[in-house]
């Protein structure tokens, strides 16, 4: 059975409603740490496995793909839904981050119905949706760079690329994932390649702290035109959505240059920059009520294990092409225009990556094992 997510319009064009169905497989919602520990004890006694898919909700096809992978490889699946405040900077979009609880539960219940029709090992799904006081029982969570609290820091990885622009982001990610691993105690944890730096950070954390969990990474799921799926895409609206694909196109151009035999960093960046420059120039020529402008944060050609910049790609090792752009607020919004959740008034950060595979069979991106 193929999962079909049906959508109907609500009060605003940017709000999406998914239908819900009854579940034919046991399905529970937990907000308690002791409940999760008891569940782990029961699974250990039965010699069953559990896979964890950590999310912040606002589920899309990328999350669905990870849940499917977890269900294929484990007896039980836990999907966490928790908007973690410590990975948002002081001036970032924590308060407006999309929260679609009913929609998310509907999607997961429908997945259970799909799994029930298959002859697989999957038996049970748990949704772990804790309150912030549960996840941070000591001091209230802080997003201050020098804020007090118990945090996990993975340096220098967390200071590169996304970390350079968002200095508390990976501290918050590593901390909340460490907490989830301690609470759920999964045999495997499932992450998406779209957040490639996050997968590398978590992989390093699991290795450095000797955590008994295998990190599994699913491929980036894209829209038909190549835009990487993200919960934040609902902010884009039609105009910025059409231009936002520039990032994936730029990375594809660099990847094609690599496929054509170029390995110098400058050559790969030049291929990407040509796409970016031509797109930005064409947008600037349009009227303010028709264009969507953006700023480039970074385009990176990095070592596959350490994410440090390389001047030349070693074809035995490969590399990671990645980038981030900021879609700027719309300057002039037309009447009844689909400007996205928030009305096009806030910037939207988009990230993407492509892995340049190495020829050495022993070489692989640390985050994709």
Alpha helices, DSSP H, located in the chain: 33-46, 61-73, 101-116, 132-135, 162-165, 169-184, 196-208, 237-244, 246-259, 265-284
192/198 Cα distance (integer angstroms): 9
- How many residues are given for the chain? 369
161: left (phi over 0), alpha (psi -120 to 50) or beta: left
For every residue of 48-102, DSSP letters joined together read: --EEEEEE-S---HHHHHHHHHHHHH-SEEEEEE---GGGS-TTSSTTTS---HH
What does the alpha-carbon distance between residue 320 and residue 311 come to, in Å, rounded to a whole number?
A: 13
Which residues are known catalytic residues?
Answer: 63
Pairing of strands 50-55, 7-9: unpaired
Number of CB atoms found within 10 A of residue 237's CB? 24
Backbone φ and ψ for 343, nearest 5 degrees, come out as 70, 20
Residues 6+ apart with CB under 8 A from 75: 43, 48, 49, 50, 121, 122, 123, 124
């Amino acid at each position: 059975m193929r999962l079909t997510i049906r959508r109907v319009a609500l009060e605003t064009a940017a709000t999406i409603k998914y239908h819900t169905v009854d579940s034919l497989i046991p399905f529970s919602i937990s907000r308690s740490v002791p409940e999760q520990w008891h569940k782990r004890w029961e699974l250990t006694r039965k010699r069953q496995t559990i896979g964890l898919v950590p999310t912040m909700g606002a589920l899309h096809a990328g999350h669905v793909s990870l849940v499917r992978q977890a269900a294929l490889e484990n007896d039980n699946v836990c999907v966490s839904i928790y908007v973690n405040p410590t990975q948002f900077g002081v001036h970032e979009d924590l308060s407006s981050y999309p929260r679609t609880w009913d929609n998310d539960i509907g999607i997961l219940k429908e997945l259970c119905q799909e799994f029930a029709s298959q002859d697989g090992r999957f038996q049970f799904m748990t949704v772990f949706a804790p309150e912030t006081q549960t996840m941070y029982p000591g001091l209230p969570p802080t997003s201050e760079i020098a804020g007090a609290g118990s945090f996990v820091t993975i340096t220098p990885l967390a200071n590169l690329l996304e970390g350079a622009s968002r200095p508390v982001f990976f501290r918050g990610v590593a901390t909340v994932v460490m907490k989830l691993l301690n609470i759920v105690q999964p045999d495997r944890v499932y992450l998406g390649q779209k957040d490639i730096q996050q997968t590398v950070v978590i992989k390093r954390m699991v290795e450095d702290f000797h955590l008994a969990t295998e990190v599994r990474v699913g491929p980036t799921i894209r829209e038909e035109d190549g835009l990487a799926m993200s919960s934040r895409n609902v902010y884009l609206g039609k105009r910025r959505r059409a231009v936002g694909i520039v990032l994936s196109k730029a990375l594809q151009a660099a990847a094609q240059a690599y496929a054509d035999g170029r390995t110098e960093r400058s050559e790969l960046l030049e291929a990407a920059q040509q796409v970016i420059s031509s797109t930005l120039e064409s947008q600037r020529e349009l009227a303010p009520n028709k264009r969507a402008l953006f700023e480039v944060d970074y385009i990176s050609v990095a070592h596959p294990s350490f994410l440090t910049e390389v001047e030349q790609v070693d074809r035995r090792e490969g590399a990671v092409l990645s980038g981030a752009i900021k879609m700027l607020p719309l300057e002039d919004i037309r009447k009844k225009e689909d400007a996205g959740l928030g009305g096009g008034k806030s910037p939207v950060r988009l990230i993407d990556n492509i892995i340049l595979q190495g020829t050495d069979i022993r070489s692989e991106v640390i985050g994709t094992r």
